[in-house]
Structure 1
Amino acid sequence: MREILEKFKTGNISLEEAEKKLKLNYFDELGGFCKLDTNRKLRTGIPEVIYAEGKRCEDVAKILKELALKSNIALATRVNDTEELKTYFKDETDLILEINELGRTAILKKQGFEVEKTEKIGILAAGTSDIPVAEEAAESAKIMGCEVIKNYDVGIAGIHRLFNPVKSMIEEDVCCIIAVAGMEGALPSVISSLVDIPVIGVPTSVGYGYKLTPLLTMLHSCSPGLVVVNIDNGFGAGVFSGLIASNISKRIKKG
C-alpha cells in the first residue's frame, strides 16, 4: 500500500491507477479456496489469523506460508493435528514454525523476524483445565507484540492463591489482564474488583452442567471494568488485549 501511495505522490501513477491498485491489493486469492486479507493489519491493527478447525491441514499449511511470506508472520488457531502440520515445514530454511501444543496454535514467521514490542499484558487462568484457552490467548497477544505474563490455577475455590499473582502483575505494570475461567466463572469479577486496569473475561466450556453458566456469570457481573468475549475465545481476548497494548504504546511514542 505504501509503495502505491509513494508512486502516486511522485506522479508515477495517476489517481485512477492508484485507486485500482489499492482495490486489487485488498486481498490475494490462493488456489481458488481462500482469499487472504493481507491488508487487515493496516486497516484494523489486527493481522488476519487462520481458524484451522474444519480445514484440511494441507490447506492450513498453504495459507500459513502465504501469509508469512507476505506479512513476515502468521498465526493459526485451533490446529487439529500439529504433528501433521510440522511435516509441511520440515525442509523450510527461511521460515520458522512455532507450535503451542496446549493452545493448539501455530506461528510461522520469517527467519530473523521479530514483532515490534508494545506493552505487557497479564493472563490468569482459574484452573489447569482452562490453560488451553489461556495459551491461545497468550499466542494471539504475542503476535501483536505483547509481552505476556502468565499465572495459572488461581481460581476462587482457593482464593488465597490469587492475591500474589495479581499483586505481581500490578508491579509488572501490565496494561490489562485476561481472566480465563470455567465452572461458575467468577474469577474475572473478583479480579476486576481489585485492579484499576481493564479486565477481559474469557468463559470456558470447562465444568459440570450448563456450559453457558460462566458466560452468563461474567455478563451479569456487578464489578465494573470487565469486558467479556465468547466461550473458549482465547483468540478474541488475546487480540483485544493486543489492541489496548498497541494503542498505549503509540501514545507513549508520540509523547
Structure 2
Amino acid sequence: MTLTEILKQVQEGTLSLEDAQRILKQDGYKEMDYAKLDTGRKARTGFAEVVYCSNKADEHLLNIYERLYQEEGQVLGTRASEKQYLLVRERLPQVQYDPVSRILKIEKPDKLHEGRVAVCTAGTADISVAEEAAQTAEFFGTYVDRIYDVGVSGMHRLFSKMDMIQKANCVVAVAGMEGALASVMGGLVCRPVIAVPTSVGYGANFHGLSALLTMINSCANGIAVVNIDNGYGAGYLATQMNRLALGKDR
C-alpha cells in the first residue's frame, strides 16, 4: 500500500490511525529467509518490486511471486521460462505468460494506460527484447505504440511511421547488429530516446557489444543507453519519463 493510499483510507475512515501507524512503522520489507521482499518500494519509488525469475529455485519463485501478489494485487515477473509459468499457474491460475518476452504477470483488471511511449525495433529478431520493454511499460500504466522492423536497411519504413513516433513522450529504440537505429532516432525526434542494444547479430556483433558501443558513442543528442537485452530497464525508464511528461510521480 502506498503512502497516498494509506492517507486516503484514514481520511475515509476505512483505516484507523493505529493501523496506519503500524503500517508506516514496518521495516519496509518482508523477511522470507532466502528473500527480503521490498514491500515499501512502491511508496518510495512509485514502482512495486518485480520478480526476476531466471535461476530462482522453484519453491523460492513460487513463494516470492505469491507473496508479492498478496501485497500488491498484481505482480510482474521477467525472464521466466515456460516451466516456471506452469509451476506458478498451479498455485495462481490467473497468471499470464508471454513466451516471446518471457513476461509472467498478474494484472489488476481495467488498468488505465496513460501518456504515450513508442517502442521501435530495427528488425523482427529484436522483438523479444522490445516486448519485454513494451509490456513492462504497460504493466506500470503506460500506453505503448509498437513500431517494429524499421531499421536502417530500409529507412523508408521508419519515415512512414514518424507521425506516430513524434507523438510519444519518449522513444525506445531496440537494435542489434551495429545498433544504428538509436542514432537515427536521436536525429529525428524531439523526445528522449532510450537505446536498447540487443545480442542479435553475426560474429563481430560480440553478443551485443558492437551495438552497445555504437549507441554509447552516438553523435546524436538525447540518447540514454541501457544494458544489452535489457528491455525491462528500458520499459521502466520510459514509464518514468512518461509520468514526468504527464506531471505525475506514480
- TM-score band by shorter chain is 0.7 to 0.9
Q: 1:78: which partner in 2?
A: 79
- Matched with 1:104 is 102
Unmatched 5+ residue regions in structure 1? none
Could you tell me how far apart the structure 1 residues matched to 2:91 and 2:51 are?
A: 22
Counterparts of 2:23 and 2:73, CA distance in 1? 22
Name the counterpart of 2:221. 224
* Partners of 2:107 and 2:139 within 8 A in 1: no
Cα distance in 1 between the residues matched to 2:142 and 2:111: 9
Q: For residue 205 of structure 1, what is the aligned residue in structure 2?
A: 199
Unaligned runs of 5+ in 2: none
2:176 aligns with 182
Query: Do the aligned residues in 1 keep the contact of 2:85 with 2:97 (CA within 8 Å)?
Result: no
Equivalent residues of 1:52, 1:78 under 8 A apart: yes
Deviation of the 1:249 alpha carbon: 2.4
Deviation at 1:158, TM superposition (A): 1.6
Shift of 1:234: 0.5
Alpha-carbon distance between aligned partners in 2 of 1:146 and 1:11, rounded to the nearest angstrom: 33
Query: Could you state the TM-score of these two structures normalised by the residue count of structure 2?
Result: 0.85
Correspondences of 1:22-33 after superposition (within 5 Å): 22-30=24-32, 32-33=33-34
Residue in 1 aligned with 2:89?
Answer: 89
**1:251 CA drift (Å):** 5.2
Letter in 2 for 1:239: Y
Amino acid aligned to 1:50: V
Return closer, same or farther for 1:91/1:193 CA change in 2, 3 Å cut-off: same
Q: Is the 8 A contact 1:74 1:107 kept in 2?
A: yes
**Equivalence for 1:249:** 246
Change in 2 beyond 3 A, CA 1:53/1:226 = same
Following superposition, the deviation at residue 39 of structure 1 comes to 1.7
**Percent identity between the aligned chains?**
37
RMSD: 2.7
Instruction: Give TM-score scaled by structure 1 length.
Output: 0.84
Task: Say yes or no: does 1:132 pair with 2:128.
Answer: yes
Aligned partner letter, 1:237: A
Tell me, yes or no, if the aligned pair for 1:130 and 1:206 is still in contact at 8 Å: yes
- Aligned residue for 2:174, secondary structure, equals strand
SS at structure 1 position matched to 2:154: helix
SS at match of 2:107: strand
Secondary structure of the corresponding residue to residue 42 of structure 2: helix
